[in-house]
Chain A
Amino acid sequence: MAHDSLLEIKNLMTHFHLHEGIVRAVDGVSFDVRRGQTLGIIGESGCGKSVTVHSILRLVPSPPGNIVDGQILLHRGGNGMDRVAVDLARLDPRGAEIRAIRGAEISMVFQEPMTSFGPMHTIGNQIIETILLHQEGVESSDARDLAIENLRRVGIPRAEQIVDAYPHQLSGGMRQRAMIAMALSCTPRLLIADEPTTALDVTIQAQILELLMALQEEVGMAVIFITHNLGVIAEVADEVAVMYLGRIVEQAGVNELFDNPQHPYTQGLLNSIPHIDEEKLPRLRAIEGVVPDPYEIPSGCAFSDRCPSFKPGTCDRAMPNLDETVSGHLVRCFLYSDVEEGLTEGENGG
Chain B
Amino acid sequence: MLTQYIGRRLLLLFPLILIISVISFVLIQLPPGDILNMEVLRLRSAGTQVSEEEVEALRQLYGLDKSLPEQYWLWITNILLKGNFGTSFTYVKSVSEILAARVPLTAAVSVMTAIFVWITAVPIGVYSATHQYSLVDYFWTFVSFIGVAVPGFLLALIFLWLAFLWFDISAIGLFSQQYETAPWSWAKLVNMLQHIWVPIVIIGMANTAGMMRTMRGMMLDELNKQYVITARSKGLTETRLLVKYPVRTSMNPVFSTIGWMLPGIISGEVLVSMVLNIPTTGPVLLQALLNQDMFLAGSIVFILSILTVVGTLVSDILLVWLDPRIRYEGVA
Contact = CB atoms under 8 A, between A and B. Distances in A.
Interface in A102-129: 102-104, 107-108, 110-112, 115-122, 126, 129
Nearest to A179: B230
B230 A110 contact: yes
A120 B229 contact: no
A59 interface: yes
A101 B235 contact: yes
A94 interface: yes
B41 interface: no
Given A110-B226, A117-B227, A102 B323 contact: no
A310 interface: no
B227 A59 contact: no
B235 A116 contact: no
A108 to B, nearest CB: 5
Interface in A33-74: 57, 59
Interface residues of A, number: 32
Given A116-B227, A118-B245, A120-B245, A102 B235 contact: yes
Contacts of B9: none
Q: How large is the interface on B (under 10, 10 to 19, 20 to 34, 35 or more residues)?
A: 20 to 34
B225 A115 contact: yes
Contacts of A169: 328
A99 B226 contact: no
A107 to B, nearest CB: 7
Nearest to A120: B248
A119 B232 contact: no
Contacts of A111: 226
Interface stretch (B71-79, B236-244, B260-268): B236-244
Contacts of A110: 226, 229-230, 233
A166 interface: yes
A116 B328 contact: no
A130 B235 CA distance: 8
A112 B226 contact: yes
B60 interface: no
Nearest to A113: B226
B324 A166 contact: yes
A29 interface: no
A348 B237 CA distance: 38
Contacts of B286: none
Interface string B216-260: 000000000111011111111110000011001100000000000
A341 to B, nearest CB: 41
B93 interface: no
Consensus secondary structure, chain B interface: helix
Contacts of A129: 234, 236
A100 interface: yes
A166 B234 contact: no
A169 B231 CA distance: 20
Contacts of B234: 102-103, 107, 129-130, 133, 182
Contacts of B244: 118, 121
A57 B324 contact: no
Contact of B328 (A59, A133, A166): A166
Contact of A168 (B229, B232, B237, B328): B328
A116 B232 CA distance: 11
A59 B245 contact: no
A134 interface: yes
B233 A133 contact: no
B235 A133 contact: yes
Contact of B236 (A57, A99, A101): A99
A117 B324 CA distance: 13
Contacts of B245: 118, 120-121
Given A99-B237, A107-B234, A129-B234, A119 B249 contact: yes
B325 interface: yes
A118 B241 CA distance: 10
B327 to A, nearest CB: 8
Nearest to A94: B238
Which of the listed residues A110, A116, A166, A169 has the most CB atoms from chain B within 10 Å of its own CB? A116
7 contacts: A102-B234, A108-B230, A118-B244, A119-B249, A120-B248, A168-B324, A168-B329
Given A117-B230, A119-B323, A120-B248, 9 more contacts: A59-B233, A112-B226, A116-B227, A118-B245, A118-B248, A120-B245, A121-B244, A166-B328, A168-B325
Please name the 3 residue pairs, one residue from A and one from B, whose CB atoms are nearest each other, closest first: A102-B235, A103-B234, A103-B235
Interface of B: 225-227, 229-238, 244-245, 248-249, 322-325, 328-329
